[in-house]
Amino acid sequence: MTFAPPAAARVGDLLTSVATPSLTIDLDAFDANLAAMSAFAARHGVALRPHAKAHKSSEIAKRQIDAGAVGVCCQKLSEAYPFAAAGIASIHVSNEFVGADKLAMAVELASHVRLSVCVDALPQVRALGETAARAGVTIDVLPEVDAGQHRCGVTSEDALVELVDGIASQSALRFAGIQAYHGGIQHVAGWAARKHEANRAADIAAGYVRALETRGVRCGIVTGGGTGTVEFDAASGVFTELQPGSYLFMDGDYGGLNWDGELRWRHSLFVLSTIMSATRPGMAVCDVGLKGLAVDSGLPRSVHWVDADDAPALSYVSANDEHGMLQALRDAEGDFAGRVGKRLLLPPGHCDPTVNLYDEFVCHRNGRVADLWPIDARGFSR
Ligand SMILES: Cc1ncc(COP(=O)(O)O)c(C=O)c1O
């Protein structure tokens, strides 16, 4: 017999009766974001390989594939397992990895899916090639180039050529192209400034592609880009594949940027919370804090009632482990005792780490729970 708390929600429940805290998806907004990115990639002739680290859910990955994505990215090898198990046929691990445990996962995954991985050092290439050969699998390899973020990735053409030669010398590896991702520019607030930075990253990537071409090596895939730069990456003529993740949900950080191009995004991801106490004038306390909201990119920047029509005159001002402190906006009615028990929707500051705090998405439409999607790669960070 299992002894566990009751389910937070069932399909058909009113959103107002869903247990809190819960992580919710507004399906109208989600569907609009999903369709917009798919149509955008198709219109611009670039492949879309969304980053699954944003949602960690095979249910969502299947919807992305159905809408035209060529596969998904994962950031970690263990994260790829639920997607492989769910039948996602093409997975790119957009990250470097080392060690026997990781190599074992790579070859196991490669026996189930078409797997591509990133490298930026020759010993990784050798270890991967030898392990893959022993296991009888083939792995696509995309050396990562440093497109300006100064995180991972080779920093010279010679280093890239050395990797490409190393890959060619391993019978179980296939050189598939390069990865050029610059995470540091995704959240540049101004449209023109973001465009400038994205074009600079694309120029760096183009330089590496040319360097390979002058040596007679065709660079099939150039993959990279995130939600903040997709429009510039697609227009650059350099990237053949885009890796955005957050576009499905948006978050406080992305919501604060300027979006002057053809794409508009809607917030679809909200933490559902309940006002559980309001004993002091001008203050209320809700039931979600640090354990249900990632605050590395800031606190929720807005607050929305689920079961009242007026705009909440409150802002979320600080997070304790399990408490969210809400303060009356200036000039607002200061007594919130009558609001105890009321539900709030809070848009997280940063979607990815917030998703990783929950086991399921409670998906709703027209005020009712329409679906429950497991976050099956939650916590898979090896
Ligand atoms: C390699 C890589 N590609 C793509 C993304 C997706 O970025 P975003 O969620 O900003 O769209 C990330 C996010 O950190 C990343 O690390």
Q: For residues 293 and 326, what is the distance between their CA atoms, to the nearest angstrom?
A: 14
- Mutation test residue for ligand 1: of 149, 152, 243, the one with most atoms within 8 Å of CB: 243
Shortest-distance Cα residue to atom 15 of ligand 1:
183
How far apart are the CA of 353 and the centre of ligand 1, in A? Answer: 12
Atom of ligand 1 nearest to the CA of 243: 4
Instruction: Check residue 331 and give its pLDDT.
Output: 63
Residue identified by tokens 């997607």 is 83
Nearest atom of ligand 1 to the alpha carbon of 183 = 14
- Please give the number of the atom of ligand 1 that sits closest to the Cα of 352: 9
The mean per-residue pLDDT over the stretch 82-107 comes to: 98
The residue whose C-alpha atom lies closest to atom 3 belonging to ligand 1 is 243
Indicate the pTM of the whole model: 0.97
Instruction: Indicate the pLDDT class of residue 332, thresholds 50, 70 and 90.
Output: low
Residue 31 has pLDDT above 90, yes or no: yes
Distance CA 145, CA 238 (A): 14
Residues 6+ positions from 171 with CB-CB distance below 8 Å: 129, 133
Quote the pLDDT of residue 226: 98
Strands 269-277 and 283-286: antiparallel
Quote the CA–CA distance of 67 and 69 in Å, as a whole number: 6
The answer for residues whose C-beta is within 8 angstroms of residue 330's C-beta and 6 or more apart is none
Residues in the chain: 382
The angle formed by the CA atoms of residues 341, 347 and 351, to the nearest 5 degrees, is 130
The pLDDT of residue 333: 65
Q: How many CA atoms lie within 13 A of 353 on its CB side?
A: 13
Does position 106 have pLDDT exceeding 80, yes or no? Answer: yes
pLDDT category of residue 307 using cuts at 50, 70 and 90: confident
379: left (phi over 0), alpha (psi -120 to 50) or beta: left
How many angstroms is it from 17 CA to the middle of ligand 1? Answer: 34
Please, which pLDDT band fits residue 312 given cuts at 50, 70 and 90? confident
pLDDT tens, residue by residue, 36-70 = 999 999 999 999 999 999 999 999 999 999 999 99
Give the residue with greater pLDDT, 329 vs 48. Answer: 48
CA-nearest residue for atom 14, ligand 1, is 183
The closest-lying atom of ligand 1 relative to the alpha carbon of residue 254 is: 10
Q: Which amino acid, one-letter code, is at 178?
A: I
The 3-state secondary structure of 354-365, one letter per residue = HHCCCCEEEEEE
Could you give all domains of the chain from N- to C-terminal order, each with its CATH number?
15-22+266-374 (2.40.37.20), 28-249 (3.20.20.10)
**Residue 319: its pLDDT value, please?**
98
Provide the β-strand partners of residue 374: 360
The per-residue pLDDT of the chain, averaged, comes to: 96
Best CA proximity match to 154, nearest among 180, 205, 120: 120
Which of 37, 40, 51 is the pocket-test mutation for ligand 1 (most atoms within 8 Å of CB)? 51
Kindly tell me if the per-residue pLDDT of 311 is higher than 90.
no
- Residue 335 has a pLDDT of 84
Q: What letter represents residue 260's amino acid?
A: D
pLDDT tens, residue by residue, 356-366: 999 999 999 99
Helix/strand/coil for 58 = helix
Lowest mean per-residue pLDDT among 181-190, 282-291, 310-319: 310-319
CA 227 – ligand 1 centroid, Å = 7
pLDDT tops 70 at residue 78: yes
Q: Which amino acid is at 152?
A: C
**pLDDT for 324 beyond 70:** yes
Report the residue among 53, 64, 119, 269 best suited for mutation to probe ligand 1: largest number of ligand atoms under 8 A from its CB.
53
Q: Are 275 and 304 in contact (CB under 8 A)?
A: no
More confident residue, 336 or 334: 336
Report the pLDDT value the prediction gives residue 334, as an integer from 0 to 100.
Answer: 77
For the segment 205-220, the average pLDDT, to the nearest whole number, is 97
Protein residues whose CB sits closer than 6 Å to any atom of ligand 1: 51, 54, 73, 94, 181, 183, 186, 226-228, 243-246
Which residue in this structure is represented by tokens 């919501």? 255
